[in-house]
Structure 1
Amino acid sequence: MDRRRFLRQGMAATAAVGFLPALSSRAADARGTVSAPLARPVLQPAASVDLTGFTALASFQHRGVVWTAHEDLRTPQGALVLVCADGLLELGKRTEDVWGSDTPPYLGIPLAKLAMAEADLLADALLRDGDPSEQAVRDVAPPPASRLDPKDHNGRLPWTTFVGTVQANDTMQIYPDGRSRTYRAVQSFPALADADTVAHRAEGLLGGWMPAVHKVVPAGEGRWYDVLVFADVNAQDRFIVQTWHRTVLVEQGKAVRTVVGYSYPDFPPRRTGASVEDFYRGVIDFAASWQAQLAQASIAQLPDASWSDLARFAFARELVVRPGGVYPKYGAVDRDYVGNEYDGFQDTFTSSLYANLEWGRFDQARAVLDNYLSEYTQADGLVNMRGPEIGQFGLTLSLLARYLRYTGDVALLRNHQGKIEATAALLVELHDVSLALPRSDRGHGLIHGWSESDACLYPDPTLWWKPYFGNSALTIRGWEDIAAVWPTIAGGQGASRQWRQHARQLRTRLLQSIRADIRHDLRPPYLGPLPGTTETFRQAMSQEDPSKGEQLWSHRAYAELLQADVLPPEIAHLVIDCLRGHGGTTLGIVSNIWKPSPEGRDILGFISYGHAQQLLRLDRIEEYLLFLYAHRYQAHTRGSWTAGEVAGITGGMPLFCMPAQMTVPLLLRWMLVFDQDQDLYLARAVPRDWLATGKPIELQEAPTPWGRAGLRLRADTGQRRIDAELTLPAMRPNAIWLTLRAPTGTQLREVTVDGRPAKTAGPQHDRVQIPFAAGATVVVQAHYD
């Protein structure tokens, strides 16, 4: 269940590196000081955009440079272009329809039927013909935040997105009509008060990925309100987020009225209206700031640029959410998610470290890691957070090993050597306790403890101090991975021998317990989240008060069990089939496993990426793509891309949490570059439809345990040929594999690697082994029928 619902129940029960840029002119007037000049934005050549048909908006000077602002007002998607003598800054305004489709939802299946079914009926239907259709997944349910009901929010519409800066310690929420908590465009444009009109808006982000809200509210044929809101990157207020606002009424390609605001309503004569020129000065500094913040990241190019933009935006949003770009926050705005009691939440740390590492954002990864080990990890290995989660200790150890392999930064890990060793030793202590239990005990030899942090807030937290399979699985993964690099950190074998011994012993016991607990009398076969359960998780959650059962939060236990990658393939397949067949997934994503209700069925937006990772390892590619599509379209708001911790499928507004925002970047990265069992996989899950567009698919400078790697794929649909160019890492993996998922309805005919014939392998006979040469560029061609 989501955290807010949990807290309400808990109360009822207990009652009975970011840089600091320069100040803008307006901020300087208010504060009286100006910092060092901000770096100029990265510009394109002046000839790269044809400004024919654009409207000239303003001409002004900024930091000694003359600029002109132009905008394409012929379409709501028209770009904003700022031009100076050295080039131009093009900021696209792509949007997505917030309302979604008016066609009947759920593929015509009654909501109550699919909600109460044990099988994931929507996943079954969408996967019937191989790769799921991205459009079908997009339109299968009302989008999040598209069917807002004031009665669900104490009579007030909820915020649907927010803005902020790196340096500020807070954020500013933005509502459907574009207002903030301090500025309302409706005062100048009363039509924005019409809730039905606003509900049918489109939303996007300035520049495709920058954290500036763009809204298009329809106002009749050829008429719309164009709303832009972003935080002033130059403001130095510690907690207050200063905001720029621009609202334009566009009629038949002309701006008939433009109103610009800065943070607050006017208070003449001291606070007068902001100028249009100052607004565009703010845009230039905003773009320059965010270009600099996201400069360190792998370069991705996909047929639909919104996918790579979604990944970049996630990292920009993380910097907005984290005070100073570093200090962790689980959520934003709402106390139940942004309060300091959540700052040490392990999932916020692990999801951030993982995603930043995978996209080559090593500076941010280092800052996050150092901050967490310095500020939120105690000398004894415990975290400065209520309810430590056992599995996340193991994942932390695994990610520390990955950090070292990717970055070579042994100095930082040596600085925290004592805490790292204490974390691994804590798990050894828990294992020793379990080994002392009678052999007849169902938890003998399995790690006991909470899998979910919230467990500690119940009147009797011992109910969830249990041997969940996921806890032991991630502990094994953590011990094995940290032991492999410990000699580099600490010198000599030291404790690594002990950790390996415990890992082997725990792995043997875990698999023994799992095999003994599989229920082959059910179809598909069933495995519970911990040994000895007599009810399925769906049965356990169907009780009058499901929060009194040990299978609460089963979704976490399953996701972590799969993520650890310690199960033989046949058992990993069984666990995935068990979830999909017994009520544990929604649209192919792990469900928020709770009491079944005919009114809906929920998606778990965060921590479920471990489930997707195992789908990829098992080459269940179609299901992996369904997970990816469903997460984007059914766990994120449209256009503004606010990711929900738990998202329903009836159009309500999910509660934002930062770990959910990091899921799609991880899945996109793994789709293109993924390591498994000392092998490197390239293009393993590229959608067939993406290749069929004939547009390039590219990821460059992707970090791997063997060094940076890259790939570029493109299909020539006329010649029925796929061309690939691969950049190999500096060190040798066990093997390098390239997957060529030819367009739907075709199959590979012949493949050459650097001009030499190559054989195909893999479950779909579409995988080619690439001979290794350190840092080499390899050319692959494949023909298909």
Structure 2
Amino acid sequence: MPLSFDRRSFLKGSTIAAMGAAAAPAIAAPVVSAAKDATITGHAKLAEFDGWTVYEDQMRRDGAITFVKGDQALVVSKRPEACFDDIEPKWLGLALKDICLADADLLADKLLKGGGDPDPEEVRRAAPPAGWNFKADELGTRMAWTNFVGTRQQGDTMPVFPNGRTRGYRPEHAFPDLKGDDGVKKRWEGLLGGWMPAIHKIIEVSPTRYYDLLIFADVKAPDALLVQTWHRTIQYDNGKPVKTSFGYSYAPFPPRRVEPEAADFYKGLFDFSAYWQNEVRDQSALTIPDKALGDMVTHAFAKELITRPQGVYPKYGVVDRDYFGPEYDGFQDILTSSLYANLEWGRFDQAKRVLDNYFNDFTAPDGMINMRGPEVPQFGLTLSLLARYLNYTGDLATVRAHASKIASTAATLTELHDLSLQKPAADAGFGLLDGWSESDACLHPDPSVWWKPYWNNSAFAVRGWRDIARVWPLIAPDQAALAKDWNARADTLQVQLVKTMRANVRQDLSPTYLAVLPGTKLTHREAYAEAKAKKQSSEHGWAHRVYAEMLHADVLPDDLAQTVINGVRGHGGTCIGVVANIAPANETHRDQLGFISYGYAQQLLRSDRIEEYLLFLHSHRYHSHTPGTWVAGEVTGIDGDLPLYCIPAQLTIPKLVRWLLVFEASDSETLHLGKAIPRDWIASGEPIAIQGAPTRWGRVDLSLQGGKKSLNGEIIFHGQSRPQEVRLRLRLPIGERLSRLTLNGKLVKATQEAGAETLIFTPGSVSRFTLHAERV
């Protein structure tokens, strides 16, 4: 059968080995503000504990919970989002059948038609929210959970269902209105504090009654596997609270087990806030006008710590065996997505833990991984990220500790390269690396169908060799010959790759098209249709991975990269601007690929297709995540079905946000700043800032803020080295331009690039730059 990446269609219906009991963590004091800055007038007093008094604004559904002690205050905000379909017209007025069958991405075309940056709200309204309309009886063996809670120290998670129940506690015991999930369709969900993994639900059961629920994990629980949970449910009638119930993990069993006191619940929430603030304290500070988007960055790192037992051991997903089972643990994408995201946001300790775990426990001395189906391109991405780790952290000791396995990882690719050069010169794939580009290929009766010279195999081999060769003399000075060989191979392979790709472009199609491997002329949709008619497997399987990774590697000339992008978008390969989970054309679904696809977005950014990059960002945010609580789906439809969570998808938004602010060129000493900042952010007059963004030249701060007719900014380099070139993009609102621009008090000129003013300068030895511009 034709293949898509959605494992749900292949593995329909866990546990992990019990680990040593984790000690209850010490809870540091949370970061608090001055009490005078907290508003509690008119708020209900809820409880007292340890000198703290707890208040809540119960006049608003998003009313904050505030802890006050003397001159200190801790404010825990709420931001619920609608989890039901309130969108009219459906799919921007287009028919779902037409959207699904069209080669073109009709929704993306409509959102980009007017020119300029796509409107985030219009992007949100392009399709119903994920997870709102699933049917539990159609999920097979999978449970109908919609979120989960946990801590770093536990070895598992606790699923949470639509009505707020877990596997141990049911709010309907006290509130029969909440029985089952069918009656809770009209609900809003969010995260306490904007990003912390505490689930806030508002369930409206009638025009006069709704329920407000809070669910979060006990961060002091020492259980090795089991997640203990706190619960609060409030019934509101006519906007006023009339009944409150608290719970801890299980139903009461009086007199031994009784409902907890209010003070115990709020003490648990206070500790929870302190715990999670501490867990993400090393993340590069971010301030952007779109505060929810910023919170998505931080929440992704919190969710990773919950997903990974003890915050370190790799897991692809949670709860369901098909994603939580140990056969997935060595999946290379878990490593690379985590290493990439944590490095980009300065979370070096977590990056080190992830790196050490993978090379100690999942990489053999010969470079082979402890996973069923190795993916050739991911070996190259791993090498590239190891070089990035060393460039960002300077942690030579860690990389040297794994030097032998790193060399073996590179040798895995050189062996495939040697074999490719033994092919006949007339072979369509001469000089290109054969192998699986997708792990699931090995699960089929004849995996040789996908042992082919896919473009991404060679593209990431080039990138991996080239990047690791730059730092190898530092890692293993006595093995400099390896770096020389890798560089030579990278050059040879890149030339052959580009030559073969150009020879395989289908100029007869509009837009022109490049298939997933040399020697084939069918588009992926044509290939799927043919395979379906013949009841065969198609070598075009997982085409989305091929396209995303070949672009991500950044080894193609720009014109060829544009050919690939245009061909993917114009021949059924994207969904609302995000790479689609490429599958046979059909009348009912067109799905987004939540992970891997970020490589496609990165090339959009490189090629200054900024509006398309921003569409990808907003679309992934709204359509590859459930609303409010942001469970990211591996594959997500646009008709409200329930996606299956995977952590690589969750770690996509952090990369996209980082790159629009700070982005490094792959092979030149160029640093891009503000390359894709939305024009509306400048127009808002609110601050835009990232502090301590890691780069290979050291950490960098960037801040910009628009005034009524001005723009001010600052760039600070904290390291000892500097890029040769800085390109600062100033994306003013459409119709505006700069009349006067100064850098450190000196008048300078900007260049027009991609419809925006770009200041290009050489920083030299200067560490701080101040910018002032007049706008007309």
TM-score by length of 2: 0.95
Tell me which residue corresponds to 1:28: none
Does residue 88 (structure 1) correspond to residue 73 (structure 2)? The answer is yes
Measure the CA separation in 2 of the matches of 1:774 and 1:276.
58
Question: By how many angstroms is 1:223 displaced?
Answer: 4.6
Maintained 8 Å contact 2:130/2:637: yes
Does residue 706 (structure 1) correspond to residue 697 (structure 2)? The answer is yes
Equivalent position to 1:391, from 362, 374, 377:
377
Measure the CA separation in 2 of the matches of 1:391 and 1:208.
36
Cα deviation digits, residues 130-159 of structure 1 (max 9, x gap): 211100000110010111223422599711
Aligned residues: 760
Does residue 722 (structure 1) correspond to residue 725 (structure 2)? The answer is no
Maintained 8 Å contact 2:6/2:581: no
Tell me which residue corresponds to 2:7: 4
Cα deviation digits, residues 98-142 of structure 1 (max 9, x gap): 114331221111111111000111111111122111000001100
* Other structure's SS at 1:378 match: coil
Measure the CA separation in 1 of the matches of 2:20 and 2:471.
33
Cα deviation digits, residues 348-377 of structure 1 (max 9, x gap): 000000000000000000000011010001
Tell me which residue corresponds to 1:778: 769
Maintained 8 Å contact 2:531/2:537: no
131-140 vs 244-253, which moves further? 244-253
Measure the CA separation in 1 of the matches of 2:180 and 2:370.
46
Question: By how many angstroms is 1:252 displaced?
Answer: 5.3
Cα deviation digits, residues 397-451 of structure 1 (max 9, x gap): 0000000000000100110010000010111111000101100111110011000
Alignment of 1:467-486 (within 5 A): 467-486=453-472
Does residue 118 (structure 1) correspond to residue 112 (structure 2)? The answer is no
Does residue 302 (structure 1) correspond to residue 288 (structure 2)? The answer is yes
Maintained 8 Å contact 1:197/1:218: no
Tell me which residue corresponds to 1:56: 45
* Other structure's SS at 2:530 match: coil
Does residue 582 (structure 1) correspond to residue 571 (structure 2)? The answer is yes
Tell me which residue corresponds to 1:742: 732
Tell me which residue corresponds to 1:509: 496
Tell me which residue corresponds to 1:688: 679
Does residue 41 (structure 1) correspond to residue 26 (structure 2)? The answer is no
Measure the CA separation in 2 of the matches of 1:108 and 1:344.
44
Question: By how many angstroms is 1:755 displaced?
Answer: 2.4
Tell me which residue corresponds to 2:222: 236
Q: Write the letter of the residue equivalent to 2:577.
A: G
Q: Write the letter of the residue equivalent to 1:523.
A: S
634-643 vs 190-199, which moves further? 190-199
Tell me which residue corresponds to 1:523: 510
Q: Write the letter of the residue equivalent to 2:64.
A: A
Equivalent position to 1:371, from 357, 360, 368:
357
Equivalent position to 1:559, from 548, 572, 591:
548
Q: Write the letter of the residue equivalent to 1:510.
A: L
Measure the CA separation in 2 of the matches of 1:613 and 1:547.
34
Measure the CA separation in 2 of the matches of 1:754 and 1:165.
47
Tell me which residue corresponds to 2:482: 495
Does residue 170 (structure 1) correspond to residue 169 (structure 2)? The answer is no
Measure the CA separation in 1 of the matches of 2:477 and 2:192.
50
417-426 vs 689-698, which moves further? 689-698
| Counterparts in 2 of 1:374 and 1:154: CA distance versus 1, 3 Å | closer
Tell me which residue corresponds to 1:32: none
* Other structure's SS at 1:218 match: strand
| Counterparts in 2 of 1:775 and 1:319: CA distance versus 1, 3 Å | farther
Maintained 8 Å contact 1:427/1:475: yes
Maintained 8 Å contact 2:246/2:261: yes
Q: Write the letter of the residue equivalent to 2:96.
A: L
Equivalent position to 1:326, from 289, 312, 328:
312
Measure the CA separation in 2 of the matches of 1:157 and 1:390.
33
Structure 2 unaligned spans of 5+ = 14-18
Measure the CA separation in 2 of the matches of 1:764 and 1:21.
54
Does residue 538 (structure 1) correspond to residue 525 (structure 2)? The answer is yes
Maintained 8 Å contact 1:729/1:774: no
Alignment of 1:50-199 (within 5 A): 50-61=39-50, 66-85=51-70, 87-128=72-113, 129-154=115-140, 158-193=144-179, 195=181, 198-199=184-185
Structure 1 unaligned spans of 5+ = 12-17, 24-34
| Counterparts in 2 of 1:531 and 1:217: CA distance versus 1, 3 Å | same
441-450 vs 721-730, which moves further? 721-730
Does residue 613 (structure 1) correspond to residue 599 (structure 2)? The answer is no
Maintained 8 Å contact 2:314/2:334: yes
Maintained 8 Å contact 1:19/1:167: no
* Other structure's SS at 2:759 match: strand
Measure the CA separation in 2 of the matches of 1:756 and 1:19.
62
386-395 vs 764-773, which moves further? 764-773
Equivalent position to 1:664, from 624, 634, 653:
653
Cα deviation digits, residues 284-314 of structure 1 (max 9, x gap): 1111111111111100011121111100000
Q: Write the letter of the residue equivalent to 1:681.
A: H
* Other structure's SS at 1:204 match: strand
Maintained 8 Å contact 2:724/2:762: no
Does residue 759 (structure 1) correspond to residue 745 (structure 2)? The answer is no
Measure the CA separation in 2 of the matches of 1:120 and 1:20.
51
Maintained 8 Å contact 1:543/1:595: no
Measure the CA separation in 1 of the matches of 2:182 and 2:327.
38
Question: By how many angstroms is 1:279 displaced?
Answer: 0.5
Cα deviation digits, residues 31-60 of structure 1 (max 9, x gap): xxxx7x422222211111121111100112
Does residue 733 (structure 1) correspond to residue 718 (structure 2)? The answer is no
Question: By how many angstroms is 1:518 displaced?
Answer: 0.6
Measure the CA separation in 2 of the matches of 1:374 and 1:547.
40
Measure the CA separation in 2 of the matches of 1:541 and 1:195.
37
Maintained 8 Å contact 1:93/1:204: yes
Cα deviation digits, residues 604-650 of structure 1 (max 9, x gap): 00100000000000110000000000000000000010000000000
Maintained 8 Å contact 1:541/1:593: no
Measure the CA separation in 2 of the matches of 1:564 and 1:267.
58
Tell me which residue corresponds to 2:322: 336
Cα deviation digits, residues 376-413 of structure 1 (max 9, x gap): 01100011001100000000000000000000001001
Alignment of 1:626-637 (within 5 A): 626-637=615-626
Maintained 8 Å contact 2:531/2:538: no
| Counterparts in 2 of 1:40 and 1:86: CA distance versus 1, 3 Å | farther
* Other structure's SS at 1:191 match: helix
Question: By how many angstroms is 1:82 displaced?
Answer: 1.2
Maintained 8 Å contact 2:551/2:599: yes
Percent of aligned pairs with the same amino acid: 50
Maintained 8 Å contact 1:68/1:83: yes
Measure the CA separation in 2 of the matches of 1:778 and 1:165.
41
Alignment of 1:214-225 (within 5 A): 214-220=200-206, 223-225=209-211
Maintained 8 Å contact 2:195/2:298: yes
Question: By how many angstroms is 1:771 displaced?
Answer: 3.9
Measure the CA separation in 1 of the matches of 2:450 and 2:313.
29
Question: By how many angstroms is 1:181 displaced?
Answer: 1.1
TM-score by length of 1: 0.94
Tell me which residue corresponds to 1:446: 432
Measure the CA separation in 2 of the matches of 1:400 and 1:562.
20
* Other structure's SS at 1:722 match: strand
Question: What RMSD, in angstroms, separates the aligned Cα atoms of the two structures?
Answer: 1.9
Tell me which residue corresponds to 2:16: none
Q: Write the letter of the residue equivalent to 1:697.
A: I
Equivalent position to 1:249, from 217, 224, 235:
235
Q: Write the letter of the residue equivalent to 2:43.
A: F
